[in-house]
Amino acid sequence: MTGLPKFAAWAATAALTGALAGCGDGLDHSSQRAYQPLSSEMQALMTEKGAQPSSPILIRAYKKEAELEIWKMRSDGQYTLLKTYPMCRWSGQLGPKTREGDRQVPEGFYNITPGQMNPQSAYYLSFNVGYPNALDRALGHKGGSIMVHGACSSAGCFSMTDKQIAEIYTIAREAFGGGQRAIQMQSFPFRMTAQNLAKHRLDPNMAFWKNLKEGSDYFEVTKQEPRVAACGRHYVFDAQAPEGQTLDAAAPCPVLKEDGDVKARVAEKEQIDARRVAELSKTIKPVRVLYADGGQNPHFASQRGEDVSRPDALVQAPTEIALDEPVASKPAPAAHPASPKAMMAKLPHPKPAPFNVAHAKAAGQSVAARAVEPAAAPVSSTVAALAPIPEPTPPTSSIGRLLSKLDPRSKPAPAPMQLAPTAPAPAAEE
């Protein structure tokens, strides 16, 4: 039990932390539960996984599936899954915690230090997950003292059974005793599978969840704890600020230093997952899932009773509300040039001026000659009436040649028809 001496030195600080816990966690001064030895079964499991009791651990939690995982570092520096615990109770909805009293279980990346362990918890045993972190504060998220504890009761916490938290607490205590300074806890709305991402693709939290998936992908690809920081109001992973600079969660990100090989491997995984999500989205209807108040792992379905917080909310299955895909606006069809026939139909067709026979006779003109002459244009002034009409420019295009046929100036007038006169015509002037 190498972790016991060091752990005992942190007990006083941890007890004070527990007194301020947000899930109603108080003090149980008679408790000696924090110093239970690691079971022989757990020691055997660690040996089977190639890990030591004193080696570092990492915690991952999934709200929708109501599961909490403990990962243990092997001798080669990579993490291996040690054990998955069914979660007895979590509260609220899928999505991050944003304010005090919203009953939301936080989502994100958090650090658990020895001082956050509460050996005298009123909820059997507990530890504070470290909410809010730097990104939560930059986003204006409020609240605090979110715990992993026993008693199967949640008002924003990760709640386990007393037996479960006793084992988890002991595993963490041994890791701290072995020299681990902080335990990383990764909290997700659900497992970052293509199926879940396709199903929840229209959820308003999806942009945030994709950022969480990036950190999950770093861990999945390397099986090492990702270095987590924040800038530009989002998480960044395995990235460092330029020399002499620091990362600020609320400030824009500078040019980051990253491991090119790891980044390429993560990008490859993201591309494979994105293609799978796109394929599944063709058949999976997008939904928004609503809970009466959180959930519980199905493992406990037959054990619900008075010891569970809000059992009435667990009776109601979560509701899936189908969402409609946004309809992309169709572009207007390209305009086609009008055909010559259509253009001709739109042209004006002026009516010829009325013809007065008596006036034509008086002017010494034949009826036939007058009939083929163009109508005189109305004269608004003497100068306009005497101005010569310019010769039209020969058309060069097919449309121009077609339109020119409508212009009476574009062709010579036909010779007047010779009709038998009814009276002798006057002699032609020379």
Buried b (16+ CB within 10 A) or exposed e, 391-410: eeeeeeeeeeeebeeeeeee
* Residue 253: active-site member: no
State the sign of the Cα–Cα–Cα–Cα dihedral 350, 356, 360, 366: positive
Catalytic residue among 149, 152, 200, 231, which? Answer: 149
SS3 letters for the chain? CCCHHHHHHHHHHHHHHHHCCCCCCCECCCCCHHHCCCCHHHHHHHHHCCECCCCCEEEEEECCCCEEEEEEEECCCCEEEEEEEECCEECCCCCCCCCCCCCCCCCEEEEECHHHEECCECCCCEEECCCCCHHHHHCCCCCCCCEEECCCCCCCCEECCHHHHHHHHHHHHHHHHCCCCCEEEEEECCCCCHHHHHHCCCCCCHHHHHHHHHHHHHHHHHCCCCCEEEECCEEEECEECCCCCCCCCCCCCCCCEECHHHHHHHHHHHHHHHHHHHHHCCCCCCEEEECCCCECCHHHHHHCCCCCCCHHHHHCCCEEEECCCCCCCCCCCCCCCCCHHHHHHHCCCCCCCCCCHHHHHHCCCCHHHHHHCCCCCCCCCHHHHHCCCCCCCCCCCHHHHHHHCCCHHHCCCCCCCCCCCCCCCCCCCC
What would the two tokens of residue 6 be?
A: 């060091």
* Residue 157: active-site member: yes
Catalytic residue among 23, 88, 152, 157, which? Answer: 157
Between vectors from CA 119 to CA 113 and to CA 124, what angle results, nearest 5°?
Answer: 120
User: Known catalytic residues?
Assistant: 149, 157
